[in-house]
């Protein structure tokens, strides 16, 4: 008799979990290979306008959507902007906020910390990159009758999804940059998002220019970021 493909726990269907079985050596090799791939990731501000197939962006977003979330509420919306006119409006509004931040909001120590990265108020990548992915978090949802429903651990859930989104972008051979002009309410208005959504992160996505220079910065060693209790 064929085994059941699912069981009921407290009346809810649970399916069998299947994962590729690897040897210890294979696990070690895969973990090292993945680290080496991700260690090449950099935030890139100089984009090529070379087109990116829409299907690639769709796959990247689907990968991000596999992230865990509080009570599996999936409290996110990934808005993808490729319309040149809309990208121009986003750049104009973002730069306006950036000027205000650099001139009036940021402390001297903050500006000093940013100096090695070469950032400023000019954001041409918002128009040059083929796509902008704006991630919105859902503070709550609506059911079919229009009543509000709760979402849980929204910031944590959306933050994890964004990390997986960035990873998927890098894995696809593309580049991105985490852009957070603050405040970001202009994105809600320009994209006409519903009242339960809040802008969380803006990511330009595309290929890097033929020749790109990035800051010569170094990541902390394992000893500086971890503690092992054995």
Domains and CATH numbers, the chain: 43-212 (3.40.109.10)
Mean pLDDT of 15-19: 90
Backbone angles phi, psi at 97, to 5 degrees: -70, -35
Q: Which two tokens stand for residue 43?
A: 């935030």
Mean pLDDT of 93-114: 95
* CA separation for the pair 165, 63 (Å, rounded): 7
Mean pLDDT of 32-59: 97
Q: Using one digit for the tens of pLDDT, what is the confidence trace for 196-217?
A: 999 999 999 999 999 999 999 9
Average pLDDT along the chain: 96
CA distances from 178 to 5, 41, 165 (A): 41, 12, 11
Q: Radius of gyration over alpha carbons of the chain, in Å? A: 21
CA angle 93–99–104, rounded 5-degree value: 130
Which is it for strands 148-150 and 175-176: parallel, antiparallel or unpaired? Answer: unpaired
* Residue 177 exposure: Cα atoms within 13 Å on the Cβ side: 22
Cis amide leading into 183 (omega within 30): yes
pLDDT band at 181 (very low <50, low <70, confident <90, very high): confident
* CA separation for the pair 5, 119 (Å, rounded): 53
pTM: 0.94
* CA separation for the pair 121, 94 (Å, rounded): 9
Least Cα distance to 214 among 85, 88, 33, 45 occurs for 45
Residue 2 has pLDDT above 70, yes or no: no
Burial class (CB in 10 A: 0-12, 13-18, 19+), 166: buried
* CA separation for the pair 71, 162 (Å, rounded): 18
Q: Using one digit for the tens of pLDDT, what is the confidence trace for 80-94?
A: 999 999 999 999 999
Residue-level pLDDT at 1 = 41
**Residue % of the chain over a pLDDT of 90:** 94
């Amino acid at each position: 008799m064929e085994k059941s493909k699912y069981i009921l726990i407290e009346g809810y269907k649970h399916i069998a979990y299947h994962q590729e079985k690897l040897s210890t050596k294979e696990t070690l090799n895969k973990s090292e290979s993945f680290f080496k791939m991700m260690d090449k990731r950099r935030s890139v501000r100089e984009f090529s306008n070379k087109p990116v197939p829409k299907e690639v962006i769709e796959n990247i977003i689907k990968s991000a959507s596999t992230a865990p979330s509080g009570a599996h509420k999936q409290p996110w919306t990934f808005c993808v902007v490729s319309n040149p006119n809309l990208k121009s409006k986003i750049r104009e509004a973002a730069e306006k906020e950036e000027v205000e931040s650099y001139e009036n909001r940021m402390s001297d120590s903050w500006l000093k910390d940013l100096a090695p990265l070469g950032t400023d108020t000019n954001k041409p990548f918002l128009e040059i990159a083929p796509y902008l992915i704006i991630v919105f978090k859902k503070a709550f949802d609506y059911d079919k009758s229009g009543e509000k429903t709760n979402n849980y651990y929204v910031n944590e859930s959306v933050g994890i999804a964004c990390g997986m989104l960035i990873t998927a972008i890098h894995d696809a051979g593309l580049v991105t940059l985490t852009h957070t002009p603050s405040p970001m309410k202009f994105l809600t208005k320009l994209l006409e998002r519903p009242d339960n959504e809040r802008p969380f992160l803006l990511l330009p996505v595309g290929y890097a220019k033929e020749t790109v220079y990035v800051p010569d910065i170094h990541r902390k060693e394992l000893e500086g970021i971890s503690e092992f209790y054995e």
